[in-house]
Amino acid sequence: MKSFKVIAPLISLLMLLSLALGSSCSSGTADNDSPDTNNLPVSDTTPTGSQLIASILAASPNITSFDTTSVIDMTMQVSGMSIKTVMTANGKEDLSSKKAYLTSSIIMTGDLASTMEMETYLIDSFQYFRITSTDQNTGMQLNTWYKMLMDTQMQTQTWNAQSQQNNYLFSKSSITVDGSETINGTSCWKVTITPDLTELIKYLNEQQAIEDPSAITNPADSLKNIKLTAWVAKDTSYVIKMNMSMDMLIEAQTLSMVMSTTITNINQPVSITLPPEAVNAIQVG
């Protein structure tokens, strides 16, 4: 059970960040990234950073559905242990119906080794999940559906994730437009984000990535080597891809995180249906 107590918050973090950042990204050429060498129309004038931020904040509430995939690579130094965790997730979300679906995988190596695969549905105020594979004694039966009621904070994080993310990351940040690239067939502005550290900590706290935010008394000392890059669709101002890396130092505990995310099929019809066998899921929590 000790291992599962460490894994459980990682599952929550993976789920929240995946849905918040809404990703469909993978590394290397799979993202189909390429410089945009097409002749741009006269109206395709490079916006200023402030203009683009305004467009992003105005556009994000218009996102009602999307497909998502996430890859998060973390190395933690905690209580004398070194733990490397790779988390991946694939899913889709229908904000208008308050439904989401996610498959996730967590592989931990180092001083604490473990693997786990899960399937999760978020339906209105309930989270339904089942562990499909693990090498740990979780106290739960494999392939048995469980459910728990999401508190108000988690519901807000989930169903307002796109707007929340963009408000935290862009409202008080500055961005530099680095040029144009095409992501999965969409012409984008590639931008570097210089975040407001206080707002970034609020965002990480909201996503439960920081256990005790009061331990951060000086953001500049706690968050290091921050690099945020985003790709903003020129036609809609939707943030369709984001790469983020940073080092966190909190009370002698360190965490280095690299994340890459993209969203696809924005505002396309999506069908998310809870399996019949999950209707009578065992309630926990």
Sequential DSSP letters for 20-86:
HHT-B--SGGGG--EE--SPPPTT-PPPPHHHHHHHHHHHGGG--EEEEEEEEEEEEEETTEEEEEE
Among residues 193, 160, 162, the alpha carbon closest in space to that of 176 is found at 193
Q: Identify the pLDDT of residue 172.
A: 76
Q: Identify the pLDDT of residue 35.
A: 42
Grouped pLDDT means (10 residues each) for the chain, 285 residues: 41 48 33 40 73 89 88 88 92 90 93 92 92 88 93 72 63 88 94 83 62 63 87 93 87 85 91 95 90
Predicted structure pTM score: 0.78
Q: Identify the pLDDT of residue 141.
A: 92
Q: Report phi then psi at 143, rounded to 5.
A: 60, 20
Among residues 116, 108, 115, the alpha carbon closest in space to that of 83 is found at 108
Q: Identify the pLDDT of residue 95.
A: 86
Token digits of residue 53: 């931020």
